[in-house]
Amino acid sequence: MTVFNQQNTHKGSDQHDGEVLLEAKGVSKSFGAEGKGSRSGKPKLVLDSIDLQIRSGEFVALLGPSGSGKSTLLRALAGLIHPTEGQVLFKGEPQYGTNPHLAIVFQSFALFPWLTVLQNVELGLEAQDLTHTQRLKRALAAIDTIGLDGFEDAYPKELSGGMRQRVGFARALVVEPELLFMDEPFSALDVLTAANLRKELISLWESRSIPTRAIVMVTHNIDDAVSMADRIIVLGANPGHIRIELPGLPRGMRSMASEAHTGMVDLIYRIMTSPKTDVGSLLSKYSPTLILDGVQRNESTTVPEPRQLPHAAIGDVTGLIELVHARGDKVDLYQIGRELQLEFDELQPLLEAVDLLGLAEAQEGDLVLTQVGRRFAEANVLEEKQIFRQQVLERVPFLRQILQVLETTPGHSMPEEYVLSLLENHLNEEQAIEQLERLVDWGRYAELFTYIEDRGIFRLGEPEAVQQG
């Protein structure tokens, strides 16, 4: 195997006291100040006062629910976007614009279909002052290192998804970056291909076969973070803030079959499914056999915005409740995520929905049905809808408000623009439209109203089946 020229001081993933390569100081980021924010004129705060250091020799994973600004933080650290407040430093110096010592691997392969593998990789060197011979030599070395020998003249359409992502890695590594950023690099791949590529990347990193001094990865996959990272940053949402920094497990304890791995994943699930719970109380219940020295907590004191309806289909909510009921009304979140093959960002909306409806609660890493949830699971279709209607009227103020307006308005109807105007007091236009769609779905299922889509009209319905109950 051809190995890059080594010009770094990388000493393996167990060293955590290396040089500070990149630092975020009080970084905040808002969007919408130029007309894309809420109707109230306030920009949307996405990141709030982020303080973070990336040191030589460490692999850092960024985890967090939707709305926590993981990708926004990654782009701010890379210099692709400028912080609204605060500053990013590279080796102690303020960073302005994109960082030339950094490369990014994105979720999408982003290859030019008319270029060969070799040409796609060489493209990463176009901005550097190199001769054609130097570019060719480095591109071939990167292709060799990432395991694409023999495919130099192949076009992207001839490659599998895993091989296309390898080209993305080679294109990032060919510039010999000191920092390698990865934004969901494995999420577009099938399970086996992703596992193989993860294993090979870690092998290259630990054997110092790449010149990179530090790696930062955004992921939704908690297993990946625990298996790969020396430090795990868990973000909270709305706005994004650091809830806790966890030291990674020692290399020998990172196998998915190990008790330590399972315990760490379970802890992170507890933290991410308990956004309102003090992290300290969760840590106090964590297994004492596992190493948690160096834990840093940073709970946000920001007042959250009004709760939004999660992006969860009613059928999926019903299916989850029935599954938990079949398991004795209590299941381990980590295990159910594995069983359903759902990453946290896919499972999270369902957990938010059942919690919002009062059907189930996340308790110390388990999902536990409430008394109402048990009745819901045992109900027939008609009874199920009655329970759903009762719960949304009690627990979703916005749907209750829509019903009250319809009941008191002459003609018992109103345009969707009225609902959107209320939503845009708190949300930007895109978010308001998404919330409108979810309100319509939930309200229709609860038979609170009818909705005439082609006219955008809400109308008070007469759900006979519900009224008969």
The predicted-structure confidence for 372-397, as pLDDT tens digits, reads as follows 999 999 988 889 989 999 999 888 88
Average pLDDT over residues 162-178: 85
pTM for the model? 0.67
Q: What are the structure tokens assigned to 147, written together?
A: 């395991």
Backbone φ and ψ of 331, nearest 5°: -140, 155
Q: Nearest to residue 151, comparing CAs of 201, 111, 199?
A: 111
pLDDT for residue 241: 92
**Strands 179-183 vs 102-105: parallel, antiparallel or unpaired:** parallel
**How far is residue 129's CA from residue 46's CA, in Å, rounded to a whole number?**
37
Residue type for position 123:
L
Average pLDDT over every residue of 35-46: 63
Q: How far apart are CA 133 and CA 145, in angstroms?
A: 18
Q: Could you report the per-residue pLDDT of 212-221, keeping only the tens digit for each?
A: 899 999 998 8
Residues near 403 by beta carbon (within 8 Å), at least 6 away in sequence: 393, 443, 448, 449, 460
- Smallest CA-to-CA distance from 248 within 264, 231, 265, 233 is with 231
Whole-number percent of the chain with pLDDT over 90: 24
Rounded to the nearest 10 degrees, what angle do helices 344-356 and 259-272 cross at? Answer: 50
Reported confidence tier of residue 54, pLDDT bands at 50, 70, 90? very high
On the question of pLDDT at 177 being above 80, the answer is yes
pLDDT greater than 50 at residue 364: yes
The pLDDT of residue 302: 40
Average pLDDT of the residues of the chain: 81
φ/ψ of 21, rounded to 5, equals -85, -45
User: How is residue 217 annotated by DSSP?
Assistant: E
Q: List CB contacts of 34: < 8 A, sequence separation 6 or more.
A: none
Mean pLDDT of 284-291: 51
| CA–CA–CA angle 295, 298, 303 (5° rounding) | 155
Higher pLDDT, 342 or 27: 27
Angle at 41 between CA 39 and CA 46, to 5 degrees: 95
Residue 40 is predicted with a pLDDT of 52
Nearest 5°: the CA angle 434, 436, 442 is 105
Give the sign of the dihedral formed by CA 393, CA 397, CA 400, CA 404: positive
Nearest to 208 by CA among 22, 4, 1: 4
Residue bearing the bigger pLDDT, 162 or 243: 243
Predicted pLDDT of residue 9: 36
- How confident is the model at residue 25, as a pLDDT? 93
| 44-53, 95-104, 247-256, range with the lowest pLDDT | 247-256
DSSP symbols for 287-340: -TTS--TT-EE----PPPPPPPPPS--HHHHHHHHHHHHHTTSEEEHHHHHHHT
More confident residue, 408 or 154: 154
77 in helix, strand or coil?
helix
Report the candidate in 108, 320, 338, 311 with the shortest Cα–Cα distance to residue 222. Answer: 338
Q: How confident is the model at residue 412 (pLDDT cuts 50, 70, 90)?
A: confident
Residue 1's pLDDT band (boundaries 50, 70, 90)?
Answer: very low
**Which range is most confident: 52-61, 121-130, 168-177?**
52-61
- 446-464 pLDDT per residue, tens: 999 999 888 888 988 654 4
Three-class SS of residue 393? helix
**pLDDT at residue number 5:** 37
Q: Please say if the pLDDT value at position 181 is more than 90.
A: yes
pLDDT top residue among 353 and 31: 353
Long-range pairs of 405-412 with CB within 8 A, sequence gap ≥ 24: 406/449, 406/458, 406/459, 406/460, 407/460, 412/459, 412/460
Neighbours of 375 (CB within 10 A): 14
Give me the mean pLDDT over the 175-183 stretch: 89
10 band by pLDDT with thresholds 50, 70 and 90: very low
The mean per-residue pLDDT over the stretch 130-136 comes to 85
For the chain, domains (ranges, CATH) are 20-101+177-297 (3.40.50.300), 314-377 (1.10.10.10), 397-468 (no CATH)
- pLDDT score for 468: 40
Q: Please, what sign has the CA dihedral across residues 247, 13, 64, 189?
A: negative
295-309: pLDDT as tens digits: 555 554 343 455 688
Average pLDDT over residues 423-434: 80
- Residue 378 and residue 324 in contact, taking contact as beta carbons nearer than 8 Å: no
